[in-house]
Amino acid sequence: YQVGGKWYYPTKVDLGEKFDGIASWYGPNFHAKKTSNGEIYNMYAHTAAHKTLPMNTVVKVINVDNNSSTIVRINDRGPFVSDRIIDLSNAAARDIDMVQKGTASVRLIVLGFGGVISTQYEQSFNASSSKILHKEFKVGESEKSVSGGKFSLQMGAFRNQIGAQTLADKLQAENPDYSVKVAFKDDLYKVLVQGFQSEEEARDFMKKYNQNAVLTRE
């Protein structure tokens, strides 16, 4: 997806991977509005925005200044400020005592994917987490690593090869970073755009060209 003229691609992430940087938090101005994955933002839930971690990645956030910690699920994109790595909900920011200051130096540790905490972190989760976190998060089997994946779009289907090729040439000329091809299938010439790193990136492309395009995982 693209913000401020810069492209961001969801990355491959491993269980237990660590990241250090500055956290900020966001609250009232975004409460009850849609997040990047289509959920309604609830600043009282333990969620966060990250530029590239796959959606629904679960991370532990440790405030390195006071050693307090919390757990969040990634359901939004941001923060688009160069030195910041995560934007926490109000609830998560309270847990690590950074609401008043606004930012904090943090360490992130990946605990799981798909909204689930991996069983290998069950003991520490049970020992150190609040009742609220136990209500919001479950422990279970989690992938060892997750990547953004690859997606493609069918931008149109034509009975006439010339019409399909005309659209393909236009899309390729305007989008040199992607692969555009015409495939003949089911008696139709289908225009395919390939090479999207994430569903969001593909949906952004759809908004620009064709809301009715068909999204598929490669």
Which CATH number fits the domain that encloses residue 83?
2.40.40.10
Of 48-57, 104-113, 116-125, 173-182, which range is least confident? Answer: 173-182
For residue 10, is the peptide bond before it cis, meaning its omega torsion is within 30 degrees of 0? Answer: no
> Are 121 and 202 contained in the same domain?
no
The domain of 126 spans 2-146
Q: How many angstroms separate the CA atoms of 132 and 218, rounded?
A: 38
**Is pLDDT above 80 for 35?**
yes
Residue 212 has pLDDT above 90, yes or no: no
Q: How confident is the model at residue 29, as a pLDDT?
A: 82
pTM above 0.85, yes or no: no
Which of 146, 175, 205 marks a domain boundary? 146
How many structural domains does the chain have?
Answer: 2
pLDDT value at residue 133? 93
- Which of 146, 169, 203 is the last residue in one of the domains? 146
Say whether pLDDT at 179 is over 80: yes
CB 50 within 8 A of CB 86: yes
Tell whether 189 and 138 lie within a shared domain.
no
Same domain, 78 and 119: yes
State the burial class of residue 36 (Cβ atoms within 10 Å of its Cβ: 0-12, 13-18, 19+): middle
Shared domain check, 33 and 122? yes
Does 135 lie in the same domain as 47? yes
Claim to verify: residue 67 and residue 172 sit in the same structural domain: no
Q: Which of residues 146, 165, 192 is at a domain's end?
A: 146
Q: Which pair of structure tokens corresponds to residue 48?
A: 């966060």
β-pairing verdict for 13-14 and 145-146: antiparallel
- 210 pLDDT band, cuts 50/70/90, is confident
Residues 120 and 70 in one domain: yes
Is residue 171 domain-shared with residue 156, that is, in the same domain? yes
- For the chain, the average pLDDT equals 89
The model's pLDDT over 160-169, given as tens digits with 9 standing for 90+, comes to 999 999 999 9
Residues 132 and 188 grouped into a single domain:
no
127 and 89 in a common domain: yes
Element (H, E) at 185: strand 179-185
| pLDDT at 89 (0 to 100) | 97
Quick one: 125 and 160 in the same domain? no
CA dihedral 175, 178, 184, 190 (to 10 degrees): -50
- Tell whether 134 and 188 lie within a shared domain: no
pLDDT at 158: 95
Nearest to 91 by CA among 63, 51, 137, 132: 132
CATH number of the domain that 199 lies in? 3.30.70.1070
